[in-house]
Amino acid sequence: MRLINLLPDSLSPATGKADLEITRIVSDSRQVVPGALYVAINGEQVDGRDFIPQALSKGASAILAQPKEGLSQSSEIIFTSEDPRKILSQIAANFYGKQPKHCAAVTGTNGKTSVASFVQQLWQSLDYSCASLGTIGLQTSLPLPPDLSKSTLTTPDTISLHEIVQKLGNIGIDHLIFEASSHGLKQYRTDGLALEVAAFTNISRDHLDYHATFEDYFVSKSRLFAECLPKGKTAVLNADIPEFETLKELCEQSGHKVLTYGKQGKEFRILDLQPSDNTLAIRCEILSKTHEIILPFIGEFQAMNLMCALAILYGTHQDQVLLEKAIQSIKHLKAPIGRLEFVGHTEKGSKVYVDFAHTPEALEMLLKTLRPHTDGKLAVVFGCGGDRDPGKRPLMGSVAQLCADRVIVTDDNPRTENPEKIRQQIIEKCPKALDIGDRAEAIYEAIQGLEQKDTLVIAGKGHEKGQIVMDKILPFEDQLVAQKAIRESA
């Protein structure tokens, strides 16, 4: 593609360079090939501008970077911007071009994965070619070609995201929903995508190791509505959260149509919830019509996620007939892997679940959700990640102390931190907890201690298939370990 067709007007190339053919966009100098446009990003650990000479020596046709003393600004192929990350999203959108016709995004601390999965499943029930992209990877209704990356990041980097979106469009995907993380939003990764609908689930303490303050975390999430969602499109908001009025005002100022959901929701309102052993009965009012819905798995928070998903589905087409058809298919929904996932019964009849809950609010919601389904004692195994916000560790300990009958604190991706220190920071607020660092041993101990009608939830890792220790990812799946422990306890 010609350079002039990639760069915004503010960075118009000099005469003679406008027709320069750009063959690739990269933000890693090691990936530069002849004809590439290298975007030098200032990261947390390295400054991409330090690698400009290397990129030029490898044949880069153009460079985009933040101004820096000593950096030539008179060069015809070096362009400067105070915010190259934001410009990169525009360049990537121009370079890759094709996108699914209908795109939606969901952000929030908890619930993004379930919402995205529900939307994708509901679209598929309507025979749309569709995909969801997020924490559990890329889920599609069509077979994936070998070269289509199965990302395991909530929001891939800018270039990878736009490339994935283009390839989805090329194979015939016409409906896409993706999870928009706070990191991705702050770094402009999702800018340039043609969104029709954006949704906000909730917000609570998370990622403060990156954002430093809760305010910055919230502002980053809010960018989805203030800057990414085009004016006149649809915003789906949780009416039950304290931030609702702030978000609603922001959306109205941005010219968005607002759909609300939750117990206080207007368009998608939950009237009553009745949990049973393996299902959840939901009485709700959807666009002024009352419905009785049976969700084929447990979790009251999943009722909220379902309402959000239905609002997103409606927002993409504004068609009540399609919405009614989708509601009829809810009985076939499946919970995403690692989201209150039922692992099995022990010989004594106790139940074992795995869940991704890794924040204080998510853990509290999880335990309170399981309490009505537990006639005996409620047990939990959990830990906290290393090199992440240490402030949430005692908070999670407090939640476990209050909401569970039996607690085992274990390791959960300690990374480069001392795992014993992490566990002690949790146990300070949870003195009744057992301290078992080895996660497999902790799961075995928890399952062996289960009595009739007890419930155990293994929290924190959910879908993950590894334990991060130092710079290595060691194979580990809560589900497999729990299943083996159940068999051996028989």
Q: Are residues 362 and 480 in the same domain?
A: yes
Q: Are residues 129 and 193 in the same domain?
A: yes
Q: Are residues 346 and 485 in the same domain?
A: yes
User: What pLDDT, on a 0 to 100 scale, did the predictor assign at position 147?
Assistant: 75
Q: Residue 398 — very low, low, confident or very high, per pLDDT cuts 50/70/90?
A: very high
Domain count, the chain: 3
- Asked whether residue 90 is assigned to any structural domain, the reply reads no
Range of the domain at 49: 3-84
Q: 360 with 384: CB under 8 angstroms?
A: no
Can you read off the two tokens belonging to residue 421? 């220190």
Q: For residue 17, what is the domain's CATH number? A: 3.40.1390.10
Q: Are residues 151 and 292 in the same domain?
A: yes
Count of Cβ atoms closer than 10 Å to residue 154 Cβ: 20
**Average per-residue pLDDT in the chain?**
94
Q: Are residues 145 and 292 in the same domain?
A: yes
Q: Are residues 142 and 181 in the same domain?
A: yes
Q: Are residues 76 and 104 in the same domain?
A: no
- Asked whether residue 91 is assigned to any structural domain, the reply reads no
Q: Are residues 220 and 242 in the same domain?
A: yes
Q: Are residues 327 and 345 in the same domain?
A: no
0.85 surpassed by pTM: yes
Count of Cβ atoms closer than 10 Å to residue 11 Cβ: 18
Q: Are residues 267 and 373 in the same domain?
A: no
DSSP tag of 106: E
Q: Are residues 368 and 313 in the same domain?
A: no
pLDDT tens digit sequence for 189-225? 999 999 999 999 999 867 777 778 989 999 999 999 9
Q: 331 with 296: CB under 8 angstroms?
A: yes
- Asked whether residue 224 is assigned to any structural domain, the reply reads yes
pLDDT tens digit sequence for 140-197? 999 888 777 555 556 689 999 999 999 999 999 999 999 999 999 999 999 999 999 9
Q: Are residues 365 and 480 in the same domain?
A: yes
Spatial distance between the Cα atoms of 424 and 429, rounded to a whole number of angstroms: 9
**5 Cβ contact list (under 8 Å, min separation 6):** 94
pLDDT tens digit sequence for 102-130? 999 999 999 999 999 999 999 999 999 99
Task: State residue 439 phi and psi, 5-degree precision.
Answer: -65, -40
Which run of H or E residues covers position 220? helix 214-223
Domain final position from 289, 307, 332: 332
